[in-house]
């Protein structure tokens, strides 16, 4: 009896799965989960995210118009990110940005290399 061939991962689906994990890590304010998919997160950027997580009572993230472009083991994702932070005193601060995320595939897994935001007017 022949064994079925192993499923071949669709790179676009795998990158979208990282996006979903990114969104969940932000919404659950889980810096460790964020660092698992973004191993290069460090320094001032990491401290700023930690500080925001500490101050926030809640975070909601929506990613719209996701466009994934894959070239070999590198991916570029562009999308609109709606980000809302509810502070400890109940204020909700909202930002909408055009997000550019770069990822690379190493050791069989996609991880985030960098994220840039440009505020939409």
Residue ranges and CATH numbers for the domains of the chain are 11-119 (3.10.450.50)
Per-residue pLDDT tens for 42-66?
999 999 999 999 999 999 999 999 9
pLDDT at 120: 80
CB contact at 8 A, 49 and 19: no
Concatenated DSSP letters for 67-82?
Answer: EEEEETTEEEEEEEEE
Q: What span, in angstroms and rounded, lies between the C-alpha atoms of 61 and 32?
A: 18
Per-residue pLDDT tens for 52-104?
999 999 999 999 999 999 999 999 999 999 999 999 899 999 999 999 999 99
pLDDT at 2: 63
Residue 8 DSSP label: P
DSSP H or E segment with residue 22 = helix 11-27
Q: Is 30 exposed, middle or buried (0-12, 13-18, 19+ CB in 10 A)?
A: middle
């Amino acid at each position: 009896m022949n064994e079925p061939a192993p499923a071949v991962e669709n790179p676009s689906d795998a990158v979208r799965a990282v996006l979903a994990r990114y969104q969940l890590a932000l919404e659950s304010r889980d810096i460790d989960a964020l660092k698992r998919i973004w191993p290069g997160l460090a320094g001032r950027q990491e401290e700023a995210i930690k500080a925001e997580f500490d101050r926030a009572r809640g975070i909601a993230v929506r990613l719209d118009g996701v466009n994934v472009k894959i070239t070999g083991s590198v991916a570029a994702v562009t999308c609109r990110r709606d980000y809302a932070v509810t502070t400890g005193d109940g204020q909700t601060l909202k930002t909408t940005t055009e997000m550019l995320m770069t990822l690379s595939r190493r050791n069989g897994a996609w991880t985030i290399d960098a994220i840039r935001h440009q505020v939409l007017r």
